[in-house]
Amino acid sequence: MQRQPTIITRRIRLKHFAPDYCGGLDKAKTRAQTEARGRRIGELQPLLYANARHAVLLIFQGMDASGKDGAIRTVLHHVNPAGVQTANFKVPSAEEAAHDFLWRIHHAVPRAGHLGVFNRSHYEAVLAERVLGLVPRKTWAVRYAQIVDFERMLVANRVLVLKFYLHLSRREQAARFKERLADPKKHWKFSQADLATRQHWDDYIDAYEDMLNATSHPAARWHVVPADRNWYRDHVVAGTVERALEGLRLKWPKPKEGGPARRRKRG
């Protein structure tokens, strides 16, 4: 039986989850199923766009090299780019830093009818900013509740929020860093900052555990996705997105009445 992605419902420790889990599935067959799921997502997206009543926001978090870009590319391969809004949050600009930490995030939330993708997100405010000591504990500690309230507000306004934590092992991360250094076409993906971040591995794991436990709520639960095997990671994410879109039960809207052609006078 295929195992569904893990949705957080109780206090967890990431050491209890296997990053290389694949449920005993066949790699080739699973990739074919993922491709089929991607095509189905591509078929459902025009329905989302045509109805223009809901938005869908995909949030990806994970250690460096956990495959956020790869998962996004695979799962959304068949969608129309015109209906997708993407955001990748870097160090805040001077204007962004002058506002609350969610100001720039809300601005990037997809509009009705669109798919939105956050490659890293508002959760950096309780991850990197916490681990690197960019803000004091009294600042980041209250952000969990603020994030939950923010996401509840989005869901109440018909934004479907799907959150994926890509669970990568430290050993696999090292292997992927070496691969990047060995391939000239992937040198641009590597930065000395990646190694500096790796030195804080345990601190990041602690921060991720607190994040998962404090911000997985009924309106937007976290999905913990094993990320050591790219093909299984993509399979899980694609299945989750497909089921979520199917769950909206959208139908093609009827033609609008009273258009310009009908109002035009004859003569």
As a whole number, mean pLDDT of residues 134-149 equals: 97
Beta strands per DSSP E along the chain:
6-7, 55-62, 84-87, 115-119, 159-167, 222-226
pLDDT band for position 1 (cuts 50, 70, 90): very low
Contacts of 145 (CB under 8 A, 6+ apart): 214
As a whole number, mean pLDDT of residues 88-103 equals: 93
Lowest mean pLDDT among 6-20, 42-56, 164-178: 6-20
Q: Which domains does the chain have, with CATH numbers?
A: 6-251 (3.40.50.300)
What's the CA gap between 42 and 80, in Å, rounded? Answer: 7
What's the CA gap between 94 and 87, in Å, rounded? Answer: 18
Q: Which pTM value belongs to this model? A: 0.90
